[in-house]
Amino acid sequence: MTNNEDKKANGEKKQGFRLYAQFVLIGAALGAYYGVFYRNPERAVDFSPVVLLSLLSAVVVTIIQIWKKGYPAKEKLMIFLKSFGMFFLFLTMLEARPLFEQWGGKGLVIAFTTLVGATIGFIMGLKKKPVAGKATEIKK
């Protein structure tokens, strides 16, 4: 492998790492926001709307993603399951905040929402593929 090829390979790896780090940090920041500015609504925790909203959102996202595309049934199911999982994880985080506040106070709420946000960001980052820079495209 020449130095030029080695640099290109390292550059693509760095770009991929930066992309994942960017999504993790964005997710963590959003999660921290939902923890820092959380106020207990003084109502009972109810996860049934979480499931229903996640199902509805996943159906809409799946329809949009597969519209006029010839995906096989297995791929459609995977798109639906991934979408449902992301919505369910996010909405569960929001609904579970009162439980974490009871267990450990505001600090635990912030830690929990930040961790879940970072996890969601990482998962979203896995869906994105690093794009080669213009300099790399010209050299090809």
Distance of CA 48 to the CA centre of its chain: 22
CA atoms within 13 A on the CB side of 43: 6
Determine the pLDDT at residue 41: 83
The angle formed by the CA atoms of residues 123, 125 and 127, to the nearest 5 degrees, is: 80
Alpha-carbon distance 45 to 42, whole Å? Answer: 9
> Angle, nearest 10°, between helix axes 73-127 and 48-66?
100
* Number of domains into which the chain is organized: 1
> One digit per residue, pLDDT tens: the chain, 140 residues?
555 555 555 554 555 677 778 889 888 998 999 999 888 888 888 999 999 999 999 999 999 988 888 899 999 999 999 999 999 999 999 999 999 999 999 999 999 999 999 999 998 888 766 555 555 555 54
Instruction: Please return the burial class of 10, using the count of CB atoms within 10 Å of its CB with bins 0-12, 13-18 and 19+.
Output: exposed
Predicted TM-score (pTM) above 0.75: no
Q: Which domain holds residue 126?
A: 3-139
Cβ distance 30 to 90 under 8 Å? no
